[in-house]
Amino acid sequence: MSTQSIPYWRLSGFYGFYFASLGVLVPYWSLYLKSLGYNSLTIGSLIAILPATKLVAPYIWGWLADHSRRSMLIIRLASVLALLSFSLVLLRDDHWWIAFTMLLFSFFWNATLPQFEAVTLNHLGDDTHRYSMIRLWGSLGFIVVVVLMGDLLETYSTEAIPLVVLLSFAGIALFSFIVPEKCNTPHSDHSPIWHVIRQPQVMAFLVVTFLMLCSHGPYYTFYTIYLQEHGYSPHMTGILWAVGVLAEVIIFLLMHRLLPQYGARKLLLATLALTSLRWLMIGFYVDDMAVLFLAQLLHAFSFGVFHAVSISLVHQYFTGSHQGRGQALYSSTGFGAGVATGSLISGFVWDQYGAEVLFSFGSACALLAMLIVWRFIRTPKTA
């Protein structure tokens, strides 16, 4: 990869700050909401707002980016508006104000990443298999913040959580202004995007994406609270989150070799099987530190491999003028509808049935997704 033709560090910096914000919101936002006195059902419904906005926001912004061919302008505008709207959380902490603020900032925040993925892939050109070499800096940003946040909470109250989110949002906005524009390559196919979506393997892929991310709902919503209830300190909680993302970084370093060697289908099948196993390990062996560490290492597959393969498939399925909306659709289906559904179900199940049942539900979702891949998805070995 030539850093002369590809703005490697500017692209990597954006990913670093974006996933640093996730390093606060995913593990610790539910803890912040719990500190405000909300019960499990309310926490689940509030957490669901973040992915729920991905049902519409990325596609709206993706349509604007595809038609204006000014993706970076859209990203800059959305990044600044996300920063400004999140600051409203500091004014009040009642339920409806928090819900409104989360709805507002996530509408802008969720718009940025799918479009930035498309910009990154356009900068890479024919070297899209090297995407993971840039994306890994997002994982490193997540690791640094999730560990530091765990240490901060040993000393300071949960009021530090929104302040760290604001700092990470400021970094996202800053880097959005220094990444150069890179338009998609003009494409002769101007058919409606529905013609792409209705292809059986594309529809199957979107269903798999929904199920896979739905299986992550219990993990994203209650993993930190689950650890806290079983006596783990904030520091150890941060370490466990970081172990998972460190495994993700390592697999990202290898994906540019694994994907051409094994192909998307084999990697998806292995990933979904291991993800199903991971949720059972967390649900039934929370008091066994060795098992928890092993389960976190499987994050290399349940997120790292799955995401890298998915980005490659989306880039293959959605070409030319469909690129921005293709990435947005992937984000909306999985990280939007999938995570939102998983989070809402988690809020209902957590108190009534317990963690074992909830994580078993996640395991079943991953197994169903694996069966769909086995039956419907056929890809070239180099996909």
Let me know if residue 31 belongs to a domain: yes
Report the pLDDT averaged over residues 292-297.
96
| Residue 353 resides in a domain | yes
SS3 per residue for the chain: CCCCCCCHHHHHHHHHHHHHHHHHHHHHHHHHHHHCCCCHHHHHHHHHHHHHHHHCHHHHHHHHHHHHCCHHHHHHHHHHHHHHHHHHHHCCCCHHHHHHHHHHHHHHHHHHHHHHHHHHHHHHCCCHHHHHHHHHHHHHHHHHHHHHHHHHHHHCCCCHHHHHHHHHHHHHHHHHCCCCCCCCCCCCCCCCCHHHHCCHHHHHHHHHHHHHHHHCHHHHHHHHHHHHHCCCCHHHHHHHHHHHHHHHHHHHHHHHHHHHHHHHHHHHHHHHHHHHHHHHHHHHCCCCHHHHHHHHHCHHHHHHHHHHHHHHHHHHHCCHHHHHHHHHHHHHHHHHHHHHHHHHHHHHHHHHHCHHHHHHHHHHHHHHHHHHHHHHCCCCCCC
- 382 assigned to some structural domain: no
**Predicted pLDDT at 356:** 95
Query: pLDDT tens for residues 23-77?
Result: 999 889 999 999 999 998 899 899 889 888 878 877 787 777 767 777 888 899 9
Statement: residue 173 has pLDDT above 80: yes
Q: Is 317 a residue whose pLDDT tops 60?
A: yes
Count of domains observed in the chain: 1
Is 61 within the bounds of a domain? yes
Inside any domain, residue 321? yes
Domain residue limits at 181: 8-376
Residue 3 domain-assigned?
A: no
**Residue 342, domain CATH:** 1.20.1250.20
Asked if residue 288 is part of any domain, the answer here is yes
35-39, 166-170, 295-299, 319-323: least confident range: 319-323
In a domain, 383, yes or no: no
